Structure 1
Amino acid sequence: MLDSVKIQRRQSEIRQSLAELVGKEAPSEDETRSMEDMDKEYRANEVRYRAALVAEDEERREAKDDLETRSDREWSELMGQFEMRQVALALDEGRALDGQTAEIVTELRERGGYRGVPVPWEALEQRAGETIASGTPDPMQTRPIIDRLFPQSVAARMGGQMINIPQGEVEYPVVTSSVTASWQATETGNVADPSAYATTDKPLAPDHTLGIQMKLTRKTLKQSGQALEQAVRRDMNGAMSQEMDRVAFLGSGSSGEPDGVIAGASGYGITETAVDAAASWSAFRAAVTRFMLANAAGSPSAVRLLIRPEVWDAMDDAYIDTGTGLTEWDRLVKNIPAGNIAMSPNALAAPTGDPAESSALLTTNVGGVPPFFVATWGAVDLIRDPYSDAQSGGLRLTALATMDVTVARGVQLEVLTGVQ
């Protein structure tokens, strides 16, 4: 118990005792001395109480911070105990879920409807300390599965914000009104009339579902053992990350895909500028200047750049001064930090034409608002299908995820085309 609380309780007891003694018309000498002692103790406790509040102020702040972060920390720890192995056994053998995995699945089912077993997004993360079975005794020993190569995600590196929506749609109101300032021209003159405060809603809707299907043969199920669970999780994670990263920038807006930031630039109100020249710092500098003139960026270091690896290759080989070895790439990273530059063959279309031309994307974060949002709904829905491959004893697993992409303010992004 805190000292301040103990002192408060003692003060309450003293006041109660004093009230009983003060009510007597002729208190005895012992009662009078008792009142004097309690009065001294009461005054001393007031000083101790103020000192205790000062000493406990820091403890209260620490406790407040702990309460604010405790729920997120407990949820993260709970997700760390989710076992994909139990999901695989439940789908394959009908085994009942137990422990933390059963608790998580039950909570996810209460939040939304799933045909199969809901798998939280956190369960797809590659966790530190995980091991893979070295194989099972067999005439042929199967070693750990070597994964496919997937491109690294660039959506987060370009400032995009990943948000998870339990259900329904989400809208972000963006101010579109133009308020101008004016001066009073004369002593009795008026300033400009007020302008309406107008906003435009940028919706995120669960209209786009991404599906991944995995076919597991009977031999794989019998031979790989626990290594299969790890491999399926990693492969699902990589395939989903690759496709979500691609459509975030190159989504066509048709055939079930959301509108990507680059492919749907005109619909989002994003400026598209044709460079039609060799990649150089001057071409990117002009775009950065436009950002700064639009109050979207305060300096080149606030800008993020997405390019193809071929553009880096061309710029690093374009020498400005052969004597010093200075290249166009050196000039670029001198102004835009290397940590703000992302190179991806997945988020940008391959170069075409002669000379080969590609696109580039510039983004910036303004007032804490990310340049674009990538939303996911609920959890990954993992569905078991034992019938399609029943003749061969195989099993099909389908993972479904719903997502959408939107841009809050087009002025925070710019697409450069014709970068040679």
Structure 2
Amino acid sequence: MNSLEITEKRNITLQKMQDIVNKCKRELREMTEEEQAEFNAAKAEVEMLKDELAKLKEKLAGYENEVSETEQVKQDEIIEENKRNKQNKTMKEFRLLNAINSIVNNKPLTEEERSFIAKGEKEMRDSGMSYAGQIQLPVSETRATIAVGSEKSTVDVNTENILEALRGRNILTQAGAKFMTGLVGDVQVPCLNGAQVNWEGETDTTADGNASIASVKLQPKRLSCYVDVTKQFLMQTSEDAEAVLRQDLINAVNQKLESTIFGTGEGSTTEPSGLFNTSASPTLVEDFSDLCDLEATIDGSNVLNETKYILANNVKAKFRCTPKVVSSTTGTSATATVASGAIYEKGEIDGVEALNSSNVTANYFAFGDFSNLAIGQWGAIDIIVDPYTKAADGMVRLVVNAYFDIKVLRTGAIAVGKIA
């Protein structure tokens, strides 16, 4: 028998022994003669299997020493590797902190680090984007397989996909926006602008439904931001420090992306337009009836998916203390003002989920079907490691470049509002 068969048989025999003990415990009694004999026989078999497994391990160790006296491999690892039939395989994790620290100190990157970054470089080339940094974080997948060592053993490089974490943090993706990655060049996104459906006779010619398919062009625009990190922090090796660095990069990209989308910029060839630009003509909302009128414009567009609100923080604050309806009631000795609830209550406005962010321009908010808003992303995340600009302060500047574009796919799917 091989080691797997021995281990399996030993586990089955141990279970038999446990079953006998469990039965006696449930019935609060001693073992019968028959049970005692069966228990002792099983115990002897376990000892025999244990000895057989030990002899097999010793023999395998002897074989290993004959192959190479310099290799010291634990026998448990040999058994596990034989079971999986993946010998000479190890797990290594790409650490962004280590790579940055090596660049700052003019040390060569390891082969696995270079291979991982090469994936990001390929993503940039495939998307047609240029890059200037020493590190390109790939965004297409979370695991890469590379070859290292004199015998080119297989190595798994495991790293968190930074773009996935960015999606999870971005408030628009929470609202249902389309997030498209791996784009190449300019992208035309088709958008069906409705169709007319008619009743026709059995043999009548079907009338033209007047459906039209328009398209919205997404073009890559460079988003650039930076994070300053102390040299002492870069020397850390803990997983917590790695997570802090990654989160700082994600926060920097997300803050710039959200503040642009929820801004008032008119847009240009280098920057997407904001939802609240002057051509958007935001509705001035002073009370609940104004809000109902704004909702009616979206309802009139026949949106099919769930609608949501996205608010600036001060808009949320105002709606929390603004009653929907105010009325007066007069008693025998006084008149009281009665409010039937606030506009914003328990994370909702009029039963619709309301999200808020400090990245939304003050006084503004948006309402509608955000699945009609597309966020396009091209290539990898390009990081320039700059040890000079903040050298006098003992810091290293990480300049992040990424390529995005944002467009509303369907006119009338998202309405914007403003408070006084």
1:119–1:289 distance in 2 versus 1, CA, 3 Å = same
After TM superposition, list the pairs within 5 Å mapping 1:1-80 onto structure 2: none
1:165 to 154, 175, 182: 182
Aligned-residue offset at 1:315: 3.0
- Assess, with a 3 A threshold, how the Cα gap between structure 1 residues 306 and 196 changes in structure 2: closer, same or farther: closer
The one-letter amino acid of 2:385's match is R
Q: What is the CA-CA distance between 1:318 and the residue it aligns to?
A: 3.2
Give the 3-state SS of the residue equivalent to 1:401 in structure 2. strand
Matched, 1:119 2:127: no
Residues matched between the structures, number: 288
Cα distance, 1:215–1:165 mapped onto 2, change above 3 Å: same
Please report how far the alpha carbon of residue 396 of structure 1 lies from its aligned counterpart in structure 2 after TM superposition.
3.6
**Superposition CA RMSD, Å:** 3.8
What is the deviation of 1:201?
1.6
CA contact (8 A) 1:274 1:416 kept: yes
- The aligned amino acid for 1:245 is E
Q: Give the TM-score normalised by structure 1.
A: 0.57
Q: Deviations over 1:229-257 (max 9, x none)?
A: 55433322211111111112224414832
1:274 to 283, 292, 314: 283
Is contact 2:261-2:406 (8 Å) kept? yes
Alignment equivalent of 2:225, drawn from 199, 209, 212: 212
Any idea what the Cα deviations from partners look like across 1:243-297, whole Å, max 9, x if unmatched? 111112224414832122332764xxxxx4533x4242x3222233332333214
Structure 1: unaligned runs, 5 residues or longer:
1-78, 128-151, 267-271, 351-357
Partner of 1:346: 359
What is the SS of the residue equivalent to 2:302?
coil
Per-residue displacement from partner, 1:273-327 (whole Å, max 9, x unpaired)? Answer: 533x4242x32222333323332148xxx32012233333333323436557633
1:262/1:80 CA distance change after superposition, 3 Å: farther
Q: SS at 1:362's partner residue?
A: strand
Q: CA shift at 1:393, angstroms?
A: 7.5
Gaps of 5+ in 2: 1-90, 126-130, 140-159, 328-336
**Alpha-carbon distance, 1:112 to partner:** 2.5
The 1-side partners of 2:278 and 2:322 are apart by 32
Judging changes above 3 Å, is the alpha-carbon distance between structure 1 residues 183 and 312 closer, same or farther for their aligned structure 2 residues?
same
Distance 1:239 1:389 in 2: 18
Matched, 1:107 2:107: no
The answer to whether the 8 Å contact 2:283/2:417 transfers is yes
Who is 1:259 aligned against?
273
1:324-403 aligned within 5 A: 326-330=341-345, 333=348, 335-337=350-352, 340-347=353-360, 349-350=361-362, 358-364=363-369, 370-386=371-387, 388=389, 395-403=396-404
TM-score normalised by L of structure 2 = 0.57
Partner of 1:416: 417
Contact 1:112 1:167 in 2 (8 A): no
Tell me the amino acid that sits aligned with residue 297 of structure 2.
R
Q: Which amino acid aligns with 1:296?
A: V
Q: Is residue 311 of structure 1 aligned with residue 320 of structure 2? A: no
Deviation at 1:193, TM superposition (A): 4.8
| Cα deviations by residue, 1:171-192 (Å, 9 ceiling, x for unpaired) | 21112475453656xx99x657
Which among 72, 75, 94 is matched to residue 82 of structure 1?
A: 94
1:262–1:385: structure 2 CA closer, same or farther, 3 Å change rule? same
Residues 389, 412 of structure 1: CA spacing in aligned structure 2 closer, same or farther, 3 A cutoff? closer
Give the whole-Å Cα distance in 1 for the aligned partners of 2:385 and 2:283. Answer: 48
Aligned partner of 1:154 in structure 2 is 171
Say which SS state the counterpart of residue 318 (structure 1) adopts. coil
Distance in 2 (CA, whole Å) between partners of 1:101 and 1:166 is 25
Report the AA paired with residue 119 of structure 2.
E
Distance 2:111 2:287 in 1: 56
**Mapped partners of 2:351, 2:92: distance in 1:** 37
The whole-number CA distance in structure 2 between the counterparts of 1:388 and 1:333 is 46
Q: Quote how far apart the aligned CAs of 1:405 are.
A: 0.4
Question: Does residue 103 of structure 2 align to residue 91 of structure 1?
Answer: yes
| Cα pair 2:308 2:368 within 8 Å, conserved | yes
1:246 pairs with 2:285:
no
Counterpart Cα distance in 2 of 1:247 and 1:80: 38
Distance 1:380 1:371 in 2: 25
Q: Is the 8 A contact 2:226 2:398 kept in 1?
A: yes
The Cα shift of 1:341 comes to 0.4
**Equivalent AA in structure 2 for residue 305 of structure 1:** Y
Residues 255 and 395 of structure 1: CA distance in aligned 2, closer, same or farther (over 3 Å): farther
Q: Secondary structure at the match of 2:176?
A: coil
Paired with 1:388 and 1:332, the residues of 2 have a C-alpha distance of 44
Contact 1:112/1:166 (8 A) holds in 2: no
Instruction: Give 1:235's match in structure 2, choosing from 248, 267, 270.
Output: 248
Q: 1:398 to 1:307 in 2, by over 3 A?
A: closer
Q: 1:377 to 1:126 in 2, by over 3 A?
A: closer
How many Å separate the matches in 2 of 1:371 and 1:80? 41
Distance change (3 Å), C-alpha of 1:283 and 1:106:
same
Return the alpha-carbon distance in structure 2 between the equivalents of residues 125 and 293 of structure 1: 35
Once residues 363 and 315 of structure 1 are traced to their aligned partners in structure 2, the CA distance between those partners, rounded to angstroms, is 18
The structure with the greater share of residues assigned to strand is 2
Aligned residues of 2:389 and 2:397 also touching (Cα < 8 A): yes
Q: Is the 8 A contact 2:225 2:256 kept in 1?
A: no
Q: Which amino acid in the other structure matches residue 157 of structure 1?
A: Q
In structure 2, C-alpha distance between the alignment counterparts of 1:230 and 1:213, rounded to whole Å: 17
Quick one: distance in 2 between partners of 1:247 and 1:279? 28
Tell me the CA shift for residue 210 of structure 1.
Answer: 1.5
Going from structure 1 to structure 2, the CA distance change for 1:265 and 1:323 (only over 3 Å counts) comes to: same
- The answer for the alignment partner of 2:295 in structure 1 is 288
